[in-house]
Amino acid sequence: MKDSAKISPSVIRRLPRYYRFLRDLENEGISRISSKALSEKMGVTASQIRQDLNCFGGFGQQGYGYNISDLKSEIAGILGIGHTCKIILIGAGNLGRAVATHMPFEALGFELAAIFDAASLFSGLKIKDLPIRSMDNLNDFCRLHKPQAAILCVPDDSAKELVTRLSSLGIHSFWNFTHYDISKDHPDAIVENVHLSDSLMTLSYQMKCSL
Amino acid sequence: MKDSAKISPSVIRRLPRYYRFLRDLENEGISRISSKALSEKMGVTASQIRQDLNCFGGFGQQGYGYNISDLKSEIAGILGIGHTCKIILIGAGNLGRAVATHMPFEALGFELAAIFDAASLFSGLKIKDLPIRSMDNLNDFCRLHKPQAAILCVPDDSAKELVTRLSSLGIHSFWNFTHYDISKDHPDAIVENVHLSDSLMTLSYQMKCSL
């Protein structure tokens, strides 16, 4: 395997999609696939696939295709899937509950370790066998369990203060569903933003252009 | 305004974020802002802002800054915010409910016209004053109300058949939360994908690289 630092960011951005298709193929009991067959399945050109997967060298043999399990493990290694990372969820509203119930955390290398919400309304409720905890318990929990990442499903106006608090508790990686710009105040934080309203505006733009 | 077809795709991708900041500034009662002040607020360089907003010509006057309301309207026009587009939501599980309750549809130029779910479990329930309708009523509803777009919050394995059905009902624009690759089977469809697990894998990759 090439040093992952040498793989271009655009290839890295495409890896999760390769991983997903390879996992599905493996689940179907398929062990090898040609770049042509994979390209038809994924709707990209075979040459793009060869170029992308070339980075990992040696997996695609002329005439034999790719060994699905090896290639999937290789990509999993690069993406960091495999070490388990403890992540906590803050905010158990509809969005937080959707994230907690829908995301295949374990398959993606995360352990959802706890769920917190500011509203006492939820106390006593459970999501996926995890109790919804009070924010009063956040500091104790973090000191004891040392989660490395947090999912932010809180209202925008409480995000800034929350990130400061989480940083002081040793959490510097965020899956951020709010509009708060974490990187601006915390330039060293690792941040992956999900901006759903930007995505909906992009749809609106594409629809308008097609009129 | 320049013809929006001439604006580069990377600028278009950044417009929703500009729109969001301008809307917030307007809500705070601010009417003008310099590229320097806007750059500090948004955490990008002033030169990037001038370069991006130059596309719309005439709004940034040397020494006067941008007229926030004009610039916001201009960007809204380009993004297609302003015409109202009828959109329907299919799938009223946690994710569908989160989307229905959280998204500011009207502010983004959409009217959430109806919510459908295959499970009779939900029938009779309402989200945001909209009843959850049975899929049996989908065809009649579409013929009568002619929605132009659909949000797909259904399980992956039911997405393909659903998109074929929606296409036959005149819906060709999709905000797609499933992993089904719509564009492959429907190359003319307008598709905006939200792949949450790809986003979480990207976080995992960034965390691994920082170790």
- How does pLDDT run across B17-32, given as a tens digit for each residue? 899 899 889 888 888 9
Question: Measured between CB atoms, which of B104, B149, B203 is closest to A175?
Answer: B203
d(CA A51, CA A7): 11
d(CA A14, CA B198): 9
- Contact assignment for A94 to B94 by CB distance below 8 Å: yes
Kindly tell me if the per-residue pLDDT of B144 is higher than 70.
Answer: yes
Q: What is the pLDDT of residue A2?
A: 44
d(CA A31, CA A41): 15
> CA B38, B39, B42, B43: dihedral to nearest 10 degrees?
-160
Which segments within B32-177 are labelled E, that is strand?
Answer: 32-33, 60-61, 65-67, 85-90, 110-117, 126-127, 130-134, 149-152, 173-176
Q: Of the candidates B79, B108, B140, which is a domain's last residue?
A: B79
On whether both B66 and B166 belong to a single domain, the answer is no
Q: What is the pLDDT of residue A96?
A: 92
On average, the pLDDT of chain A sits at 87
Nearest-CA residue of chain A relative to B191?
A203
Q: Of the candidates B79, B107, B127, which is a domain's last residue?
A: B79
Q: What is the pLDDT of residue B2?
A: 44
Kindly tell me if the per-residue pLDDT of B7 is higher than 80.
Answer: no
Cβ contacts from A onto B, under 8 A: 165
This model of the complex carries an ipTM of 0.74
On whether both B90 and B188 belong to a single domain, the answer is yes
Taking a C-beta distance cutoff of 8 angstroms, is the pair A192, A175 a contact? Answer: yes
Query: Which residues in B lie closer than 8 A to residue A95 (C-beta atoms)?
Result: 98, 102
Q: How do B149-152 and B173-176 pair as beta strands?
A: parallel
Q: How do B65-67 and B32-33 pair as beta strands?
A: antiparallel
Structure tokens at A78: 């690069």
On whether both A97 and A128 belong to a single domain, the answer is yes
Structure tokens at B14: 């950044």
- A54-58, B50-54, B146-150: which range is least confident on average? A54-58
Question: Interhelix angle for A35-42 vs A9-27, to 10°?
Answer: 100
On whether both B51 and B140 belong to a single domain, the answer is no
Where residue A1 falls among pLDDT bands split at 50, 70, 90? very low
- Contact assignment for A203 to B15 by CB distance below 8 Å: no
d(CA A187, CA A116): 25
Q: What's the CATH number where A89 sits?
A: 3.40.50.720
Nearest-CA residue of chain A relative to B45?
A184
Pick from B32, B158, B103: which is nearest to A196 by CA?
B103
- Counted domains in chain B: 2
A83, A148, A178, A204: which to substitute to probe chain B, counting the most B Cβ within 10 Å? A204
pLDDT digits (tens, 9 = 90+) for A78-130: 887 767 899 999 999 888 988 998 888 988 889 999 999 998 777 778 888 89
d(CA A95, CA A117): 12
Does some domain include residue A33?
Answer: yes
pLDDT digits (tens, 9 = 90+) for B179-201: 999 999 999 999 999 999 889 98
d(CA A201, CA A154): 21
Q: What is the pLDDT of residue A10?
A: 77
Q: Which helix (H) or strand (E) holds A151?
A: strand A149-152
Kindly tell me if the per-residue pLDDT of A63 is higher than 80.
Answer: no
On whether both A49 and A152 belong to a single domain, the answer is no
d(CA B121, CA B183): 32
On whether both A116 and A175 belong to a single domain, the answer is yes
Domain that holds residue B49: 4-79
Phi, psi angles (nearest 5°) of residue B176: -105, 110
Taking a C-beta distance cutoff of 8 angstroms, is the pair B154, B162 a contact? Answer: yes
On whether both A89 and A193 belong to a single domain, the answer is yes
User: DSSP 3-state assignment of B126?
Assistant: strand
Where residue B1 falls among pLDDT bands split at 50, 70, 90? very low
Q: Of the candidates A48, A79, A110, which is a domain's last residue?
A: A79
Where residue B211 falls among pLDDT bands split at 50, 70, 90? low
Query: Which residues in B lie closer than 8 A to residue A197 (C-beta atoms)?
Result: 16, 20, 103-104, 108
Q: What's the CATH number where A55 sits?
A: 1.10.10.10
| Identity of residue B137 | N
Pick from B142, A125, B158: which is nearest to B150 by CA?
B142
On average, the pLDDT of chain B sits at 87
On whether both A137 and A184 belong to a single domain, the answer is yes
Q: Which helix (H) or strand (E) holds A115?
A: strand A110-117
On whether both B15 and B52 belong to a single domain, the answer is yes
DSSP string spanning B173-204?
EEEE-SS--HHHH-TTSEEEE--HHHHHHHHH
Convert B86-99 to b/e letters by CB count within 10 Å (16 or more is b). Answer: bbbbbbbbbbbbbb
Bridge partners, residue A112, by sequence = A87
- Contact assignment for A192 to B209 by CB distance below 8 Å: no
How large is the average pLDDT for residues B101-107? Answer: 85
Q: What is the pLDDT of residue A88?
A: 98
How large is the average pLDDT for residues B106-113? Answer: 88
Alpha helices in A29-155 (DSSP H): 35-42, 46-53, 68-79, 94-102, 138-145
